[in-house]
A = this chain, B = another copy of it.
Amino acid sequence: MTDSTTDTDRYWHTGVSAITPESVYVRGYKLDDVIGLPFTAATFLMIKGRLPTPQETKVLDAVLTGVLDYGLEKSGTAAARYVVSCNPSIQAGLAAAALSAGDYGLATENTARFISDTYEEFKASGETDVDAFAEKVVAKAKAEKRRIPGFGHQVFKYTDPRAQILKKIALDAGLWAEPAELYEAVHRAFIKLPGREHFPINDVAVLAAITVAMGFTPEESTALAILGTLPGVVGHISEEFASRKVQRLIPPETVHYDVPRRDLRTDLAAAGWDTDV
């Protein structure tokens, strides 16, 4: 493969992998050599383009196992089981689960983007006092009535134990870096506001903070959260196949139907149609 300089005019560019007749090079390494690497290290390699350190691998393991499964109390799992109950294709089920990550669950990217942008602003500001900067961030959000993402949890009022576990793993590995520290400063400033004492940094937010601190983009942060849940989704899909139930429906006793009874011909005439549409 000759990568001539004029190549850069081509329609597509990639640095992820290249194929020769005898070999596949992923991020530059022979696939033959990479086979057998811990999958977490390979995940880091494929996304970031370089091998992780053992510490980075350990923290990425924590990220990927941080939200393994919430069972049937997660929209994506429900969606996947409904899909495969009618279309017994594991691809379709996994796709439905991935598509269910979003603003209301699993998509860490909003929080990651906030952390990432705030950190960029901090660096650009020339400010050196993290806490003073954080106070301004909170004041500005308050003035603009913008929500700061990642604070508060349905159950936990002061600390979220899962968030603490994740943070400790990142701290121990020396990977609770500046963007995460700045986010904590923002949190400290936030809970000074009256009535906000009960808003801990939640687990999803810590996942976001760690991925930003490790250098992942906000979208990659969401991708890692999705990846982490897929083994659980596979478990559920296998249960669904084993259930021998097909064509799952929403149990009618959980539905309020508000469907009147009408006559089509009458209403078509009223809408201006010839009677014999």
Contacts and interface: CB of A to CB of B under 8 A. Distances in A.
Number of copies: 4
Nearest to A105: B86
Max chain B CB contacts within 10 Å: which of A35, A41, A263, A268?
A35
Interface residues of A, number: 142
A232 interface: yes
A19 interface: yes
A41 B239 CA distance: 20
12 contacts: A12-B256, A18-B257, A24-B70, A38-B277, A39-B39, A46-B234, A53-B273, A54-B273, A86-B104, A94-B95, A94-B226, A227-B227
Interface of A: 1, 3, 7-19, 21-22, 24-43, 45-47, 49-55, 58, 60-62, 64-66, 68-79, 81-83, 85-92, 94-96, 98-107, 109, 155, 161-162, 165-166, 169, 217, 219-220, 222-223, 226-228, 230-232, 234-239, 241, 243, 246-265, 267-268, 271-273, 277
The 4 closest A-B pairs by CB, nearest first: A87-B102, A46-B231, A72-B250, A28-B262
